[in-house]
């Protein structure tokens, strides 16, 4: 099928796709009713206005409460001045702004090449992506954290006067949620010592600030809550697409097997990331780090998988748009929820962990090394820094080596998702406020304590 060649045809196609996306999101996925945002708002209100303990709060009628480090609560203090409705509006605006930063950092070619038409197609594709739509409808912070890390990468790729601030975004992200701390390891592997030191200092300073402002909450989190995975939810729940989730669904929830799996994955990450650094492929190194963070975290809910977006960009840039589109389409289908009640058997092992297999497969097989025609000529320089080939490029180049001419920009994952489609499932789904609700009829007790809390 050939794309429309006139503006009228493009407009009609965009309108048709927008209608299809609207119908899909209204009938197939369950709405999350801003559940996680209600956790944040309620916990801050309970802490500030009612004199309660931060980690004692529970959403009324549920067992779910605040699970982030205390600094995250400090960052969310402005919500104490807002009603829930206003907080939802602000969250939508922040997520929209973060998405703009992400797309600019990934340098989506569709938007540059096709203007409004390309941007409209990209937005339609993104609206189908389950991790992203769950992030928005939960009121989650995943997009904000991804934007912070990518903003750091852009600082490293910019003028030296701005590069001195690189590491601040990664440090803040690591203080809000622990998983992004792996990007400090990326900076160390790339020998970006100053940026790594800045990120570490910012994360430590933010944590110390929280300890000074809320010593009791900090003590409880670091000595108790952080080590208690049951506060977050049931590890075997199908939404947990980490290595720990796979093992738990196999009936092996012990920490020993998980620790071995984590060490193996970290070894693969270090090996492949060092190769990406050596090949001057910053986009691949960043994508590999996001994939690894999702795998090694004890709990990686489906909405955390927005960290996979850079990997699709790498696949498209490397000349594999069909592979990117096929994998992206799977992540639009909510397919893992078909095994929410019974993940046993071979089909359950494969299907309930489908997103984890995609993540692991990308870690093992993501193309590393730019094509020779796109690879920048590198030279040693002590006087000037030429703009990097993409926003993350300077992260990968040791301080003593600076890149030369810029190659083609990295493609956006969303542009490769034209084949994305939802599951062919009959019947209309009703909305649910289940924080781990799926593409399935609502349970009689959707807030069961056996599932998960905000994370």
Domain assignment present for 47 = yes
| pLDDT surpassing 50 at residue 216 | yes
Residue 205 lies inside a defined structural domain of this protein: yes
* 445 inside domain: no
The answer to the question of residue 140 being in a domain is yes
pLDDT in tens, 88-105: 999 999 999 999 889 888
105 is in which domain, residue-wise?
16-224+234-376+384-416
pTM as predicted: 0.79
Q: In the chain, how many domains are there?
A: 1
Q: Kindly report, residue by residue over 282-333, the tens digit of the pLDDT.
A: 888 889 999 999 999 999 999 999 999 999 999 988 889 899 999 999 999 8
The answer to whether residues 32 and 132 touch, using CB atoms and an 8 Å cutoff, is no
pLDDT, tens digit, 9 for 90 and up, residues 348-395? 999 999 999 999 999 999 998 765 555 443 333 344 444 444 544 444
pLDDT band at 68 (very low <50, low <70, confident <90, very high): very high
Does 143 fall in a domain? yes
Does residue 433 form part of some domain? no
Q: Is residue 443 part of a domain?
A: no
Q: Does residue 330 form part of some domain?
A: yes
Mean pLDDT of 332-357: 92
The predicted pLDDT at position 417 comes to 41
Tokens 């003590």 locate to: 219
Confidence of residue 111 (pLDDT cuts 50, 70, 90): low
């Amino acid at each position: 099928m050939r794309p429309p060649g006139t503006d009228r045809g493009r407009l009609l196609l965009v309108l048709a796709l927008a209608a299809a996306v609207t119908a899909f999101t209204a009938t197939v996925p369950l709405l999350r009713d801003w559940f996680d945002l209600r956790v944040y708002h309620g916990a801050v209100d309970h802490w500030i206005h009612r004199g309660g303990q931060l980690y004692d709060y529970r959403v009324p009628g549920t067992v779910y409460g605040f699970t982030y480090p205390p600094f995250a609560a400090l960052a969310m203090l402005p919500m104490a001045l807002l009603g829930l409705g206003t907080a939802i509006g602000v969250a939508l605006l922040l997520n929209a702004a973060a998405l703009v930063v992400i797309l600019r950092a990934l340098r989506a070619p569709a938007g540059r090449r096709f203007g409004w038409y390309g941007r409209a197609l990209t937005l339609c594709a993104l609206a189908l992506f389950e991790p992203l739509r769950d992030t928005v409808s939960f009121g989650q912070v995943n997009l904000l954290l991804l934007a912070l890390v990518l903003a750091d990468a852009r600082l490293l790729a910019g003028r030296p006067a701005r590069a001195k601030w690189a590491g601040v975004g990664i440090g803040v992200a690591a203080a809000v949620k622990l998983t992004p701390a792996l990007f400090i390891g990326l900076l160390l592997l790339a020998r970006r010592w100053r940026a790594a030191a800045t990120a570490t200092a910012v994360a430590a300073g933010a944590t110390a600030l929280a300890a000074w402002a809320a010593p009791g909450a900090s003590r409880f989190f670091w000595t108790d809550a952080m080590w208690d995975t049951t506060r977050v939810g049931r590890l075997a729940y199908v939404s947990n697409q980490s290595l720990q989730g796979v093992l738990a669904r196999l009936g092996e929830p012990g920490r020993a097997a998980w620790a071995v799996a984590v060490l193996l994955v970290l070894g693969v990450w270090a090996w492949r990331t060092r190769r990406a650094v050596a090949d001057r492929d910053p986009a691949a190194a960043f994508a590999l780090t996001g994939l690894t963070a999702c795998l090694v975290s004890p709990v990686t809910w489906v909405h955390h998988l927005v960290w996979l977006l850079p990997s699709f960009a790498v696949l498209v840039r490397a000349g594999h748009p069909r592979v990117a589109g096929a994998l992206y389409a799977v992540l639009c289908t909510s397919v893992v929820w078909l095994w929410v009640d019974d993940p046993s058997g071979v089909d359950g092992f494969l299907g309930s962990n489908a997103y984890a297999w995609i993540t692991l497969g990308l870690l093992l097989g993501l193309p590393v090394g730019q094509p020779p025609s796109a690879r920048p000529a590198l030279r040693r320089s002590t006087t000037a820094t030429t703009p990097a080939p993409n926003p993350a490029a300077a992260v990968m180049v040791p301080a003593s080596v600076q890149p030369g001419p810029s190659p083609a920009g990295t493609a956006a994952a969303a542009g490769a998702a034209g084949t994305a489609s939802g599951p062919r499932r009959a019947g209309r789904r009703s909305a649910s406020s289940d924080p781990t609700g799926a593409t399935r009829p609502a349970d009689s007790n959707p807030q069961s304590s056996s599932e998960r809390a905000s994370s």
